[in-house]
Amino acid sequence: MKVLVTGFEPFGGETINPAWEAVKLLPDEIEGVVILRQEVPVSFRQSVELVTEWIRKERPDLVLCVGQAGGRASLTVERVAINLMDAPIPDNDGDMPRDVPVVPDGPDGLFATIPVKAAVAAARKAGVAAELSCSAGTYVCNCLMYGMLHALRELPGARGGFVHVPFIPSQTADKPGRPSMALEDIAKGLAAMLSALIAGEASSAGEGTIF
């Protein structure tokens, strides 16, 4: 089994991105499977190109992409990516696409192909706050999720998902009232999700209700 995990570089004036920091903290192997990881630029164009190339080269069974969603209090497992780039701020290349599709003529939306509720349940079982999310936004994270799921359509049976993570406490020191989560907890929650997804505890069907 081959597992790829990505985490974004810092953006939007931050000097750290807890997504990549937490991905770096993951164990080298989970359930006996080596975790291949890569940092991804906060660039509409480069992020999708890089991950698509990586997917074509490695032909993974599972891809989990991780990004920061400052302001959220839990790990949020994204259910769907939409075929839309609408940037509220420039990406790290200075690009600011407005109302442009990620893949011209692609479907309007692509659902995560990991069992999203099982991923949430696994993090919760490990004692880490997790929720489902129905929107990855319209910035680079949604774009990468869409591009990654689109690329995975070439690999029958491969599964892909996206998790947004909160700020860590050092990032909210100057943002009173904003939620944060310890980096170790973010990494613990991601590891628990990967463990469940790899062990296949998780089937897409009949996952029950999680809100």
Q: Does 68 bind ligand PCA (CB under 6 A)?
A: yes
Q: Does residue 78 have an active-site annotation?
A: yes
Q: Does 67 bind ligand PCA (CB under 6 A)?
A: yes
Measured from the CB of residue 153, what is the shortest distance to ligand PCA in angstroms? 22
Q: Does residue 141 have an active-site annotation?
A: yes
Q: Does 42 bind ligand PCA (CB under 6 A)?
A: yes
Q: Does residue 150 have an active-site annotation?
A: no
Measured from the CB atom, the residue of 33 and 100 that comes closer to ligand PCA is: 100
Binding segment (CB under 6 A) for ligand PCA, from list 114-122, 138-146, 167-175, 199-207:
138-146
Q: What is the DSSP string of the chain?
A: --EEEEEEPP-TT-S--HHHHHHHHS-SEETTEEEEEEEE-S-HHHHHHHHHHHHHHH--SEEEEEEE-TT--SEEEE-EEES-B--SS--TTS----SB-SSTT--SEEE--S-HHHHHHHHHHTT--EEEES---SSHHHHHHHHHHHHHTTSTT-EEEEEEEPPPHHHHTTSTT-----HHHHHHHHHHHHHHHHHT---STT-----
* Count, residues in the chain: 211
Binding segment (CB under 6 A) for ligand PCA, from list 76-84, 133-141, 152-160, 167-175:
133-141
Q: Does 19 bind ligand PCA (CB under 6 A)?
A: yes
For residues 158-197, which are near ligand PCA according to CB under 6 A? none
User: Which residue from 69, 148, 151, 194 is in contact with ligand PCA, where contact means CB under 6 A?
Assistant: 69
Q: Which residues bind ligand PCA (CB under 6 A)?
A: 8, 11, 17, 19, 42, 67-69, 137, 139-141
